[in-house]
Chains A and B, each alone.
Chain A
């Protein structure tokens, strides 16, 4: 019963085989067609992507043909009209671009998850990170890049951010350990906060770009915020506004989760502190939250009253940087985080003072809470 090959085989083809083939075919086709048929991707790409890699990093750019052989022409002359950059209480309605800046020493997954939960259109958000070039920083960078990859390449379209900038610090951190106890020692404060200031400034001035309307400073250990954080803070239309930072912890006495104030850098000034400052040397700084240095300032951390009175706004003289929304104007005018004693203040507190010197009054929201990671 020897048969010639070829046609005989076809005849003998298993119907099951063909069925399997077609099913697979249909499945693959469906799989391929479905994601690209969503309309959002095409619109977003068109909005504002630059043609050249020298474009401001706050906007993405389209890679031209990948082979280097193709000659790139000289970059075009780009005109930015900063008179048209609006900064309003309705940032979503006016399509205002927000820059979220985070100096990062450790990566917390909760931070990233919380970031993804923000309800502000992600297509209008640019993220900026700066990490030290230490062992810890390298580990954090790796974790961060992993998450970014996941979100920007594989994640759903609505989760993807407009652009992400990762910077590596160009100076050695003066403190090697980022442990909470070590960080908060009073003797280490000045050096640590000088470094923080430099990191914040480096991040700010290289990423601000010509399109940003608002800058949100969000610390890398803030793990829980209301999803509408940006809109809420911008809604008060204050030049500088800070949320109250608390920490959730397990209270052994009541056997339940409780919260306690965490950030003491937001305050209203006192005469005692003024006098203390006047008696100090030009390079000394006033610190908050240390028993050795009683300043009797009015701390926003203790102003929290009824959670229902969310709209309470208080003017401040010093601000913390945990969750701080700043009009881009304020930074453009030159308000930065002084890495030196500026009126005996440093970093975010010095920033508040500098903003005031430039005519911008900082405010705080005592009942609007964000939560810090608990180690």
Chain B
């Protein structure tokens, strides 16, 4: 086929000058014409300009959103300042399961604090020991109306734990919330547990808990754990142990452990005492009682004023019982509560008003029940609450301390006396030796006379010894009588170690006396003096199971009640 325009030039318009010129037609597609090429050049130029402009903008404004779109997010620096304002959470993912640690479920640990500086170091030692992965636990503290250095100590400790070199130590979100409610109620045990102050105190505590929770609960929490700062001993695995039960609300049993600072103390009441009486099962009596009270009344457990006859979690404890045993309860104590976050999300809280005649944690239990959540206690799974001496106990401790000092003083005196005697005796021996030597020398001279003298000396020493022996019991008797004169039965218990067995026997009797102080007053009055020393059997006769029934009205600081009843007796 012959090209049509062969004579004039190529089909693309170039003149044909030299037949064998390779340029440019050999590189050009046949369709390419000058105009097209020109346009193409223009595009390339525009492209280059555009590219340069973008490069400049990226270099000048590396953080603009436009730049990040252009760079397809490849430049790390560009997204550094991106502000996340939208968050999406699916609450079905945070329901809480029995094996939360495997599913990386987050726990919110809530701790209400008030003048708690002395307890913080103990609390932080617990915190370090939790076996649940720390990064899955968010901590929230509410510091309210504190007059000591709670806040400073707390934040120092938290900073420390967050900066810990061990990557397993730091926790998740840590928030300290400050809010003063202007509580005028004193925080020592006496005023905290005094009956009259209970209702308003509990309502304030409830408010504090609600403020803490509402400020700290997030959509990603699966569990909420409430813990008192003054828990002394608790298993490190407590979170997993409670979680394993997969209940909506679960509490362990709480017991009071007497501190071993005062050596005679462990013998009081056998060394342990149930602390948290707020975990209980509802009883008919209490329900009937609730109906008689006015709208704003709050039933507080553990006071003779409201005898509710409820079975308490704390009294059901058996040291050898199965720690996994569950028990349905209606009221909950606040020392250590593990609850699914959904319980709090759907509205269960700590009523700061009288809800079905209860407030705070007990009202919480009631409300959770009302919303058909499972509320369970573990009677044989025990954590130990720090022993807080009541005002009476403190007085008693002081007395005991004085006694101890007096006793030591006495002992010292005795020692001094004995030393003196020894000296005298030693002197006597010396003379005896000398005499012996003399005897040897003057063997035959005055043998009989010397023997008589030695006998005399011995007799003298023996008499002196006898005298000191007599003195000791006399001193003790004196003390005993002074103790007896004092109205408090418990002082007897603390007195001497040889009386230990008696003391143990006394305990139930004493407890009983307190619980049914009014009904059994006469019985107690008869029983007490006897039980104290001569007839431990009298108290032993009381059947143990009865104690459970009696337990209802018993108070954590029931010593006070007992003390009062005894005082009355003495007044009579």
A143 to B449, CA, bound (A): 127
A337 to B206, CA, bound (A): 17
Is B111 located at the chain interface by the 8 A CB criterion? no
Within 8 A of B (CB), among A132-150: 133, 145, 148
**How near does chain B come to A303, taking the closest CB pair, in angstroms?**
28
User: Which residues does chain B contribute within 8 Å of A76, judged by CB atoms?
Assistant: 162, 174
**How near does chain A come to B516, taking the closest CB pair, in angstroms?**
33
The winner among A2, A28, A75 for most chain B CB atoms within 10 A is: A75
Name the one of B50, B94, B344, B351 contacting A205, with C-beta atoms under 8 angstroms. B344
A32 to B91, CA, bound (A): 41
User: Which residues does chain B contribute within 8 Å of A106, judged by CB atoms?
Assistant: none
Asked whether, in the complex, the Cβ of A60 is within 8 Å of the Cβ of B84, the reply is: yes
A67 to B76, CA, bound (A): 7
- With CB as the reference atom, state the residue of chain A lying closest to B49: A21
Is A1 located at the chain interface by the 8 A CB criterion? yes
- With CB as the reference atom, state the residue of chain B lying closest to A359: B353
Within 8 A of B (CB), among A30-76: 32, 36, 45, 49, 52-57, 60-67, 74-76
Is B155 located at the chain interface by the 8 A CB criterion? yes
Asked whether, in the complex, the Cβ of A210 is within 8 Å of the Cβ of B215, the reply is: yes
The stretch of B37-45, B194-202, B260-268 that contacts the partner chain: B37-45
A152 to B82, CA, bound (A): 12
A30 to B76, CA, bound (A): 25
- With CB as the reference atom, state the residue of chain B lying closest to A54: B173
The stretch of A162-170, A225-233, A316-324 that contacts the partner chain: A162-170
Asked whether, in the complex, the Cβ of B175 is within 8 Å of the Cβ of A166, the reply is: no
- With CB as the reference atom, state the residue of chain B lying closest to A16: B42
Asked whether, in the complex, the Cβ of A208 is within 8 Å of the Cβ of B87, the reply is: no
Asked whether, in the complex, the Cβ of B173 is within 8 Å of the Cβ of A62, the reply is: no
Which of under 10, 10 to 19, 20 to 34, or 35 or more describes the interface residues of A?
Answer: 35 or more
Asked whether, in the complex, the Cβ of A81 is within 8 Å of the Cβ of B79, the reply is: no
Name the one of B61, B346, B352 contacting A198, with C-beta atoms under 8 angstroms. B346
A62 touching B353 in the complex, CB below 8 Å, given contacts A168-B92, A170-B95: no
Asked whether, in the complex, the Cβ of B87 is within 8 Å of the Cβ of A77, the reply is: no
Asked whether, in the complex, the Cβ of B179 is within 8 Å of the Cβ of A170, the reply is: no
User: Which residues does chain A contribute within 8 Å of B158, judged by CB atoms?
Assistant: 77
User: Which residues does chain A contribute within 8 Å of B86, judged by CB atoms?
Assistant: 145, 148, 152, 163-166
**How near does chain B come to A186, taking the closest CB pair, in angstroms?**
23
**How near does chain B come to A276, taking the closest CB pair, in angstroms?**
19
Residue interface mask B174-185, A partner, CB < 8 A = 1: 111111100000
A25 to B47, CA, bound (A): 11
Asked whether, in the complex, the Cβ of A197 is within 8 Å of the Cβ of B347, the reply is: yes
Asked whether, in the complex, the Cβ of B155 is within 8 Å of the Cβ of A202, the reply is: no
User: Which residues does chain A contribute within 8 Å of B73, judged by CB atoms?
Assistant: 66
Asked whether, in the complex, the Cβ of A332 is within 8 Å of the Cβ of B214, the reply is: yes
User: Which residues does chain B contribute within 8 Å of A161, judged by CB atoms?
Assistant: 85
Can you report 30 A-B residue pairs in the complex whose CB atoms are below 8 A from each other?
Answer: A17-B46, A21-B45, A28-B50, A52-B173, A57-B89, A60-B84, A63-B79, A65-B77, A74-B162, A75-B170, A77-B155, A79-B177, A80-B176, A133-B92, A152-B86, A165-B87, A166-B87, A167-B90, A168-B90, A170-B342, A201-B346, A202-B345, A206-B218, A210-B216, A332-B211, A332-B215, A334-B349, A334-B351, A338-B347, A357-B353
Which A residues contact B (CB, under 8 angstroms)?
1-2, 9, 13-14, 17, 20-21, 24-25, 28-29, 32, 36, 45, 49, 52-57, 60-67, 74-83, 133, 145, 148, 152-153, 160-170, 197-198, 201-202, 204-210, 331-334, 336-340, 354, 357-358
Closest 5 CB pairs of A and B: A74-B170, A170-B91, A201-B347, A54-B173, A82-B179
Given contacts A63-B80, A340-B370, 20 further A-B contacts (CB under 8 A): A14-B38, A54-B172, A57-B218, A61-B83, A66-B82, A77-B174, A82-B178, A83-B180, A145-B86, A160-B85, A163-B85, A167-B90, A201-B345, A205-B217, A206-B218, A332-B214, A334-B206, A334-B350, A336-B347, A358-B353
